[in-house]
Structure 1
Amino acid sequence: MTVFETARPDPIRIMLVDDQALLRVGFRMVLEAEDDLRVVAEASDGAQAIALAASVCPQVILMDVRMPGLDGIEATRQIMAAQPNTRIIILTTFDLDEYAFGGLRAGASGFLLKNAEPGELITAIRTVVSGEASVSPRVTRRLLDLFGTQLPQVDAPDAGTGTALAALTDRETEVFLAIAEGLSNTELAERFFLSESTVKTHVGRILHKLGLRDRVQAVILAYEQGLVGR
């Protein structure tokens, strides 16, 4: 019998950003115990994070928000502007936190509590790399309800946003607005009497037409465009 070794995919490249060295050590130990994860850089503040992200090009950044100097929200905004394919997960102390929401509006793909279980951390990283958000639209909607009117407005939407919204079909518009309510794929299927596979097709087309990375961005766009209540 002959056994051929299969090539393993390259590990996911991760950067840790937190001003607490002990926390970075803990995260590194958890992550590097996994064959498909590798920590390639660490930073202790937002300015360091921006410089390192440009030089090492991590796929995923675990980003603290409360740091001296440049905070994690502004660092997230600048990194996403320069490297839009990077996935950022905000690290926060509280579940429903204005800093977590600020990070999502700045372009993060999700947030995690700092005391999350190791399995949650690992799953979140793999989830955002796969192209999904690690926080549900429903949680995003709750954050909007709690903090949306308390935070400064983000930059004005691109001039093409209105045109892109107008390009949605009637059904896609219905699905888009339902996503903005925080409905899951199962709930969308039930509301519109569709199969979940058809719902996924609609969601994929909506995100593509609007130039969005994930459903969380769809919720935030609908809010910023005034399509859901402030």
Structure 2
Amino acid sequence: MTEDAPITVLLVDDQPLLRMGFRLILEGEDDLHIVGEASDGAEAVKLVRNLTPDVVLMDVRMPVLDGIEATRAITAEGSPARIIILTTFDVDEYAFAGLQAGASAFLLKDVAPSELIQAVRVVASGDAVVAPRVTQRLLETYVRGAAAPAPAAQAPDPLLGDLTPRETEMLEAMAEGLSNAEIAHRYFLSEATVKTHVRRILTKLHLRDRVQAVVYAYETGLVVPSNPDY
């Protein structure tokens, strides 16, 4: 996607009426262009490969291949496409699985048209759509309940050693759910400096975006779930 080119979007849902609704909303914007539609995950994987969309709106429950596995396959192929998982509830096992699989965001299916349009634009720019504290609440809920070894028993990811002490602090703050402005306030930094740290963290850890950084912090045990009354 060049600066002047429209953002290309692939719609993936097994319900034609929903795809039609999303198309009508998005194609009303000059900077958004629907390049294709898929009715199942397997078709979505093929179309992403052939059409190279900037953004994929991905339903979860579909025949042949569900949206989670399709997301995993697309990210495993190294596609630069940003995937938005469409879910029914904000703290939802499918949303959590989607983030684990490599999605950049999740949205509720009944999202307002203006929010859908903004989400596509934000994700295409490389930023996160999910509000930081919503992401944290989602991870707190499902990481706490996962049957995984205790963080103390896990071998630390060697990539964490590539981070400077300041970058590690930034990653922990991101996982707490703090925005760039809140991190800047805590550490007496400018927002521009925080953004630079975030960019370096993503590069060093080979992560796609901020949401994936938060998932990484929990899954590696750098940050552990707080008490269940969070």
Shared fold by TM > 0.5? yes
Corresponding residue for residue 58 of structure 1: 53
Which letter maps to 1:62?
L
Partner residue in 1 for 2:203:
208
Residue-pair matches, total: 217
Alignment of 1:72-83 (within 5 A): 72-83=67-78
How far apart, in 1, do the equivalents of 2:199 and 2:74 lie?
Answer: 25
The answer to whether 1:48 aligns with 2:40 is no
Does residue 125 of structure 2 align to residue 120 of structure 1? no
Q: Deviations over 1:10-62 (max 9, x none)?
A: 21111100111100000001111111111111111111111111111111100
Which residue in the other structure is 2:228 paired with? none
SS at match of 2:157: helix
Q: By how many angstroms is 1:152 displaced?
A: 7.8
Q: Does 1:97 align with 2:92?
A: yes
Q: Which one of the candidate residues 8, 16, 22 is aligned to 1:21?
A: 16
In the alignment, is residue 224 of structure 1 matched against residue 219 of structure 2? yes
Amino acid at match of 1:114: K
Residue segments in structure 1 that go unaligned for 5+ positions in a row: 1-7, 154-160
Counterpart residue identity of residue 22, structure 2: F
Q: Which residue of 2 aligns with 1:138?
A: 133
2:33 is paired with a residue whose SS is strand
* 1:70 maps onto 2:42 in alignment: no
Percent of aligned pairs with the same amino acid: 62
Asked if residue 88 in structure 1 is aligned to residue 83 in structure 2, the reply is yes
Instruction: Quote how far apart the aligned CAs of 1:77 are.
Output: 0.3
- Once the two structures are TM-superposed, the CA of residue 162 in structure 1 deviates from its matched residue by 2.9
Query: What is the CA-CA distance between 1:209 and the residue it aligns to?
Result: 1.4
Alignment correspondent of 1:173: 168
What amino acid is the match of 2:37? Answer: E
SS in structure 2 at match of 1:183: coil
Match of 2:179 among 184, 189, 199: 184
**TM-score, normalising length from structure 2?**
0.88
Change (3 A) 1:146 1:226: same
TM-score, normalised to structure 1's length? 0.88
1:16–1:62 CA contact under 8 A, matched in 2: yes
Aligned to 1:195: 190
Alpha-carbon shift at residue 68 of structure 1 (Å)? 2.3
Unaligned runs of 5+ in 2: 149-155, 226-230
SS at match of 1:148: helix
CA distance in 1: counterparts of 2:94 and 2:146, whole angstroms: 10
Equivalents in 2 of 1:150, 1:83: separation in Å?
30
- Residues 46 and 184 (structure 1 numbering): CA distance in 2 closer, same or farther, change over 3 Å? same
Alpha-carbon distance change, 66 to 36 in structure 1, aligned in 2, over 3 angstroms: same
SS in 1 for 2:10: strand
Confirm or deny: 8 A CA contact 1:61 1:89 kept in the other structure: yes
Of 106-115 and 79-88, more deviation after overlay is shown by 79-88
Q: Which amino acid aligns with 2:115?
A: E
Match of 1:158 in 2: none
Which consecutive segments of 4 or more residues in structure 1 shift more than 3 A? 149-153
Q: CA deviation at 1:103?
A: 0.6
Larger Rg: 1
